Amino acid sequence: MTDPKGGTVLVVDLGAQYAQLIARRVREAHVYSEIVPRSITAEEIRDRVPIGVILSGGPASVYADDAYEIDEGILELGVPIFGICYGHQVIAHSLGGTVARTGTAEYGRTDMVGIGPGVLLEGLPERQSVWMSHGDSVTAAPEGFTVTASTEGSPVAAMENRSAGIYGVQFHPEVAHTPRGDEIFKHFLYEACGAPPSWTRHSIIEDSVAAVRSQVGDSQVICGLSGGVDSSVAAALVHEAIGDQLTCIFVDHGLLRAGEGVQVEETFRSHFDINLIHVKAQDRFLEALAGVADPEAKRKIIGELFIRVFEEVAAEVSGAKFLVQGTLYPDVIESGTGTAAKIKTHHNVGGLPDDMVFDLIEPLRDLFKDEVRAVGEELGLPAEIVWRQPFPGPGLAVRIIGDVTLERLEILRAADGIVVDEIRKAGLYEEIWQSFGVLPAIRSVGVQGDGRTYAYPLIVRAVMSEDAMTADWARLPYEVMESISSRVMNEVQGINRVAYDISSKPPSTIEWE
Ligand code: XMP
């Protein structure tokens, strides 16, 4: 992206998950940060003109045959550097200090004692708890460095060379188990780098608005709106930038959650006054799904029809040159393009045909999900949209096992609405990853009023997760289960039993389909 006014801190990724956490801590201190691969050269870094560079932790030993190396020229750029764990050892090793296998590896909470004044630990208690995870230790700091703290296993737990602007810590200030870690980051950012804490949700919007305006000029732009968080925030942001030049296309396949279609329409048309084409295509989708029970076949039918409808409507927006996409930063990092500017690439999005080539606008490509939500709130999107749980593109069709008929769809939509409503009332909606109803393809006997019923059960699924790769079933309070069960039974015709799914992922998946 164009670097924000306050400047950028680059986090050199020397080991998977640590770099992401560091980037987040820096951003939480209101300084923009980006993760860059460890292959980055000193020259490439210099060209980016960062205000600081952080070398992350990593799994390797500096003496391992396959040790991660960095371009040592990075340490001579005159840009403030902060090495963390493995990054700290890389600094020591490269500048003539000693890194040794002391035999006293440290893992977990460790007591650290301050032994001298310094920028990083300024104002912190002389003794503090820090989180360690390392085998090798820096036993002698390079010349010119002051050792500012040590632990039993790490004689050089923190060191700095203020005049060279190089700092290192053996522990992990980025994890919650180092309680004063955020202050250590702030000291590096505000004192060592002189970075103003100016990267806020407000400044993100200002920067994005300016970038979108200059990218688009006076061209027309379209945006596919799904009602989910990402596309909604992207649409609101682009609308803030270019107003009427944006047209949102909301292909409503009729497989949405209760009230969702109305809410998207109400939010964007009434509240934001956005040009919105709401295509109500439930009949078309149900017709295409008639008699189809195989989940993969359902997905394929829905995906293809979705594109066809989108394409038909998009063609009516004359002269649209740009398409808005809600790509997030983790997608960018995962696709290995951390430093590459992809914004201008011509893309054939989601299987759109070759003769419909758009330039992409990706206003969220520098943000993590929680930052997207903060921007959404700042833009005035309602909490129901900003904090909405993830929902699969093919919608309720993958939560209806077997045939998707209008009758079964309405049964599930009503029952699912009650599940969500009760979870919300219990104040659990935001801490639960996903909570929803599933309609299986079986029926069983029940008794209601004076009569026998032969109706569907509702399966309630609620899971806790970080990233949907793994999940555990949520321990819902019995009272919540009870109110879901009694309301579903009383209010939804066609259901005579409620069951709770107590499977984790793996071996199950989150969705039933
Ligand atoms: P599973 O069922 O594989 O789901 O454990 C993992 C996560 O992915 C979501 N999901 C989808 N999201 N389009 C989406 O945008 C889809 O087709 C789709 N299918 C599953 C699911 O809700 C869960 O969060």
Q: Per the structure block, which two tokens stand in for 512?
A: 């039933």
285 CB-side CA count, 13 A: 27
Q: Per the structure block, which two tokens stand in for 38?
A: 């460890």
Find the helix packing angle between 282-289 and 295-314, rounded to 10°. Answer: 150
Confidence (pLDDT) at 348 = 34
Is residue 511 lining ligand 1, measured as CB closer than 6 Å?
yes
Task: Take atom 14 of ligand 1 and give the residue whose Cα is closest.
Answer: 392
Q: Is 192 left (phi over 0), alpha (psi -120 to 50) or beta?
A: alpha
Confidence (pLDDT) at 462 = 98
Neighbouring residues of 109: CB distance < 8 A, sequence distance ≥ 6: 129, 130, 131, 132, 177
Segments making up each domain of the chain, as ranges: 8-192, 201-386, 399-500
Confidence (pLDDT) at 2 = 59
* Tens of each residue's pLDDT in the chain, 513 residues: 557 878 999 999 998 578 989 999 999 999 999 999 999 999 999 999 999 999 999 877 888 888 888 999 999 999 999 999 999 999 999 999 999 987 788 999 999 999 988 999 999 999 999 999 998 999 999 999 999 999 999 999 999 999 999 999 999 999 999 999 999 999 999 999 999 999 999 999 999 999 999 999 999 999 999 888 999 999 999 999 999 999 999 999 999 999 999 999 999 998 899 999 999 999 999 999 999 999 999 999 999 999 999 989 998 888 899 999 999 988 887 665 433 323 223 333 445 555 667 899 999 999 999 999 999 999 999 998 999 999 999 999 999 999 999 999 999 999 999 999 999 999 999 999 999 999 999 999 999 888 999 999 999 999 999 888 899 999 999 999 999 999 999 999 999 999 999 999 999 999 999
For residue 393, the ligand 1 atom closest to its alpha carbon is 13
Task: Take atom 16 of ligand 1 and give the residue whose Cα is closest.
Answer: 392
Q: Which residue has the tokens 């870094």?
A: 45
Q: Which helix (H) or strand (E) element contains residue 109?
A: strand 106-114
Which member of 34, 85, 160, 240 is catalytic? 85
Confidence (pLDDT) at 227 = 84
- C-alpha 49/C-alpha 317 separation (Å) is 41
Identify whether the C-beta of residue 233 lies closer than 8 Å to the C-beta of residue 372: yes
Task: Take atom 18 of ligand 1 and give the residue whose Cα is closest.
Answer: 392
Which one of 3.30.460.10, 2.30.110.10, 3.40.50.880, 2.30.30.40 gives the CATH number of domain 8-192?
3.40.50.880
Confidence (pLDDT) at 336 = 55
Centre of ligand 1 from the C-alpha of residue 24, in Å = 25
Centre of ligand 1 from the C-alpha of residue 391, in Å = 7
Nearest of 269, 361, 356 to residue 312 by alpha carbon = 356
Is residue 468 lining ligand 1, measured as CB closer than 6 Å?
yes
Is residue 395 lining ligand 1, measured as CB closer than 6 Å?
no
Q: Per the structure block, which two tokens stand in for 157?
A: 């737990």
Is residue 265 lining ligand 1, measured as CB closer than 6 Å?
no
Identify whether the C-beta of residue 376 lies closer than 8 Å to the C-beta of residue 231: no
Centre of ligand 1 from the C-alpha of residue 469, in Å = 10
For residue 508, the ligand 1 atom closest to its alpha carbon is 5
Centre of ligand 1 from the C-alpha of residue 499, in Å = 21
- C-alpha 394/C-alpha 404 separation (Å) is 12
Task: Take atom 21 of ligand 1 and give the residue whose Cα is closest.
Answer: 392
Identify whether the C-beta of residue 398 lies closer than 8 Å to the C-beta of residue 415: no
Is residue 331 lining ligand 1, measured as CB closer than 6 Å?
no
Helices (H), 136-281: 181-186, 201-216, 229-242, 260-265
Which member of 106, 174, 371, 422 is catalytic? 174
Centre of ligand 1 from the C-alpha of residue 511, in Å = 7
Mode of pairing for the β-strands spanning 358-361 and 320-324: parallel
**Could you say which DSSP state residue 4 is in?**
P
Q: What angle do CA 432, 223, 404 make, to 5 degrees?
A: 55
Is residue 57 lining ligand 1, measured as CB closer than 6 Å?
no
Nearest of 29, 30, 26 to residue 9 by alpha carbon = 26
Centre of ligand 1 from the C-alpha of residue 283, in Å = 24
Nearest of 449, 474, 461 to residue 412 by alpha carbon = 461
Is residue 392 lining ligand 1, measured as CB closer than 6 Å?
yes
Identify whether the C-beta of residue 55 lies closer than 8 Å to the C-beta of residue 12: yes
Is residue 501 lining ligand 1, measured as CB closer than 6 Å?
no
Classify 201-386 by CATH class. alpha beta
Classify 399-500 by CATH class. alpha beta
Is residue 227 lining ligand 1, measured as CB closer than 6 Å?
no
Is residue 201 lining ligand 1, measured as CB closer than 6 Å?
no
Burial class (CB in 10 A: 0-12, 13-18, 19+), 129: middle
Q: Per the structure block, which two tokens stand in for 196?
A: 């103003």
Q: Which of 510, 512, 513 to mutate to test the pocket of ligand 1 (most atoms within 8 A of CB)?
A: 510
Confidence (pLDDT) at 347 = 34
Identify whether the C-beta of residue 144 lies closer than 8 Å to the C-beta of residue 67: no
Amino acid at 455: A
Which member of 134, 172, 253, 278 is catalytic? 172
Whether 174 is a known active-site residue: answer yes
SS3 for 356-411 is: CCEEEECCCCCCCHHHHHHHHHHCCCCHHHHCCCCCCCCHHHHHECCCCCHHHHHH
Confidence (pLDDT) at 151 = 96
Is residue 505 lining ligand 1, measured as CB closer than 6 Å?
yes
Whether residue 394 is preceded by a cis peptide bond, meaning omega within 30 degrees of 0, is: no
Centre of ligand 1 from the C-alpha of residue 228, in Å = 13
For residue 511, the ligand 1 atom closest to its alpha carbon is 2
Is residue 59 lining ligand 1, measured as CB closer than 6 Å?
no
Identify whether the C-beta of residue 492 lies closer than 8 Å to the C-beta of residue 453: no
Nearest of 103, 126, 128 to residue 115 by alpha carbon = 126
Centre of ligand 1 from the C-alpha of residue 252, in Å = 18
Domains 201-386 and 399-500 share a fold: no
Centre of ligand 1 from the C-alpha of residue 400, in Å = 14
Q: Per the structure block, which two tokens stand in for 96?
A: 């003539």
φ, ψ (nearest 5 deg) of residue 148: -110, -10
Identify whether the C-beta of residue 296 lies closer than 8 Å to the C-beta of residue 435: no
